[in-house]
Structure 1
């Protein structure tokens, strides 16, 4: 691991409790086979990743009734905390919450911060067709703001059938993240809760490319929404580079994101080594970034968000 420098803010785990729950609910195909902490460390060593912040991917912990979802959330978060405790130099954690269960989510946040010393929280972009800016989720956003939380937003399946022949990961996931970001801004979440530090997966979906369109048309649709207010809200987000550090995506992301608001992401183990290498190498080869810019995206911006990982 000589020279390892990256901090991976978009890395997933598949603990046995989650895999068993997926299989119980007929969703086993959603879990890449054979995940282990040892395998994650080997992947990190191969791609010069000094530390990885682990989170649960879609479909999240809400696979059954409320009681089952709360129990699974607790088991996953405790498993995450054990991994971090065993290798604090290599792993961080974004705790899961059982949204749309508000009371269960508030308890999960309390447990994660007060008992498990979590680094942040992962939220799915939508739940049963309701996006994160909805008034129903206000208590969760208020509590996360009180905790000055780093919030990692990950997409899930759109509220509707997929397009025949087009797998959801090809386009739907990008739209889900974009919808969540717009929902948060149009409902004033970043403005009301300025302590939140929200990271959008996969370079924010379509957001950097479409931000000025969104700001202009939001003002046309609703005159109470000013162009500058919407654009400023959209620019408060952080963005990871998972599956996105390409010659076509990086210019848009770098043009839109605020300085210090881009972090490295691998999307392992849902991406294989070849795909991770393709996008990591694309970032390394990008000539419009100077050495300071590369260092900021690969590591320094993440250290500012999560100081515990500094100097690992």
Structure 2
């Protein structure tokens, strides 16, 4: 019978037992040691209280701990002209130096920004293969404003804000910021979740205007829109099946928030319910809807036109 064999090597020494006899290797002692105090609920990312925390001024979860690189000669020069925060200018060795390169190096040197020469393969690696044309600008993580700061901006006109509901393409975000600045908006409001943030792509598309126009983050977009409505702003959402078309947008001369929906599904149900009106853009039959950034530009141009007309009356 197994275990009872009298053959040599099959018998257990007297006084021994199965399992470890020397010790547990300290495992039992470690199991008794504490792991420190449990973090507070608002300090644990998986806890609901963590997600309920208000957005801190100048710091949000959209910020990244690493720097970003803006690639391309025109975007780099435009950002340097706009005096966006930057920490280094990378120039490829042997670059064909045209006027843009010369201006970029001069602007960086005048601002005390480090100018670093690197090989083209190294610049390819730093920019993740982007079309850099031998020039890239390193910028720190974007610092978002607080929603309350947007109304503090003085433009000489009734407040005009642009709120984005789920716009996830950073190129659309950058283009919307550029249009908002061009047509006199006070700032842009983003939701904390399900939205693009200010990355190098958004910086590039905005052509540096993200440094001039406040961009804020709302913990809960619907709640923030209702708060703005309580302060006297009218909330108008862009929607293909709007309650009015752009020719009827008499609200343009009032304190206004223009809400832009996501590229695919448009406005979410709760955001739509928070709107005082929805507006559509008339288009020729058989033409697909405009993307978020183009639609925003059309509406903001109409708002600016109506405000200019009212100012001449």
TM-score category (smaller protein): under 0.3
TM-score by length of 2: 0.25
More helix, by proportion: 1
Greater Cα radius of gyration, structure 1 or 2: 2
